Amino acid sequence: MASTPEPRSDGASAAPVPVQPNAPHAVAGQRVIALVDDDRNILTTVSIALQTEGFATRVYNDGAAALKALVENPPDLAVCDIKMPRMDGLELLQRLRERSDLPVIFLTSKDDEADEALGLSLGADDYIAKPFSQRLLIARIRAILRRSDIVRQEPGHGEDAPTGPLPEPIRRGRLVMDPARHHVEWDGLPVALTVTEFLILETLALRPGVVRTRNQLLDAAYQDDVFVDDRTIDSHIKRLRRKFRAVDPGFAAIETLYGAGYSFAET
């Protein structure tokens, strides 16, 4: 079992919790979850809960220290608090998204709706409000990891890894999506998407011109009865458009039918 930090009783600020190099306690096929939070009690209790469920954990109580490790030695998923000193979770995610599509779940305060929306717009895959149940957090971690496996179609992820022939690339006009490699191109230029963004776009692109409701897109991107507000889809659509417009300012393939949903226009 990976070591976890002990709470300090003197109230002094602690140095960043170091990464467990190369997850030494992980075994073959074991998924690694990074926890980033300045609350050592949360780091301790959540880490123990995850280890009990079969995960290996790495813990950090400093966003700046976590960023370097998440990029250089990425886990399978990161759970990040938003409010942290030095580098908060929003800045951490923004800088991480410049270099990585690592799945990220945000922990937010109950009333921080603005932070939740901003986190989703920056590319978070999900969020959970504090105080939260460990059971809910673990359910969402498993759901996102399964979605990640479905998209990537890569071996070596244990018993739940998909098997069988790899899916063929999806070609819709200037769009090419390769589910086997989690690779997306527009006009031959790569566009980096998170797992959730990929699944939403794939659902739209599979049937061009067909309007998909927010609930249908939620069902495609979020499985296992995990509750997510439908405004989450709006945030992901905005980020998808922003990413494609970064390579093509005239991108308009994702269309909105107000009051109904979204569709993909093959161009």
The pLDDT of residue 160 is: 46
Residues sharing a CB contact under 8 Å with residue 239, sequence separation 6 or more, in sequence order: 120, 121, 122, 123, 197
Q: In whole angstroms, how large is the CA radius of gyration of the chain?
A: 19
Of 54-63, 65-74, 108-117, the poorest mean pLDDT is in 108-117
- Give 214-222 contacts, CB < 8 A, sequence gap 24+: 214/261, 214/262, 216/261, 217/261, 217/262, 221/147, 221/196, 222/126, 222/143, 222/147, 222/196
Which structure tokens are listed for 12?
């002094």
Residue with tokens 């960023």: 67
Mean pLDDT of 122-130: 80
- Give the helix/strand (H/E) hosting 256: strand 254-257
* Pure H helices in 153-207: 195-206
Which structure tokens are listed for 75?
């886990």
The pLDDT of residue 167 is: 74
- Using alpha carbons, list the distances in angstroms from residue 136 to 50, 150, 151: 12, 21, 23
Q: Is 185 helix (H, G, I), strand (E, B) or coil?
A: strand
**Amino acid letter for position 220:** A
Residue 111 has pLDDT above 50, yes or no: yes
Q: Is 168 helix (H, G, I), strand (E, B) or coil?
A: coil
Residue 156 has pLDDT above 50, yes or no: no
For helices 134-152 and 195-206, the axis angle rounded to 10 degrees is 50
By C-alpha distance, which of 139, 129, 31, 9 is closest to 76? 31
**Cβ-count burial of 13 within 10 angstroms (0-12 exposed, 13-18 middle, 19+ buried)?**
exposed
* % of residues, the chain, pLDDT over 70: 76
Check residues 79 and 14 and name the one with the higher pLDDT.
79
pLDDT band at 196 (very low <50, low <70, confident <90, very high): confident
Which structure tokens are listed for 107?
């922990």
Maximum mean pLDDT: which of 4-18, 20-34, 99-113:
99-113
Which structure tokens are listed for 106?
């945000």
The pLDDT of residue 166 is: 66
Residue 233 has pLDDT above 50, yes or no: yes
Beta bridge partners of 79: 35, 105
By C-alpha distance, which of 55, 58, 90, 54 is closest to 74? 58
The pLDDT of residue 53 is: 93
The pLDDT of residue 17 is: 43
pLDDT band at 25 (very low <50, low <70, confident <90, very high): low
DSSP single-letter state for residue 235: H
Which structure tokens are listed for 148?
């990640």
Residues sharing a CB contact under 8 Å with residue 143, sequence separation 6 or more, in sequence order: 222, 223, 224, 226
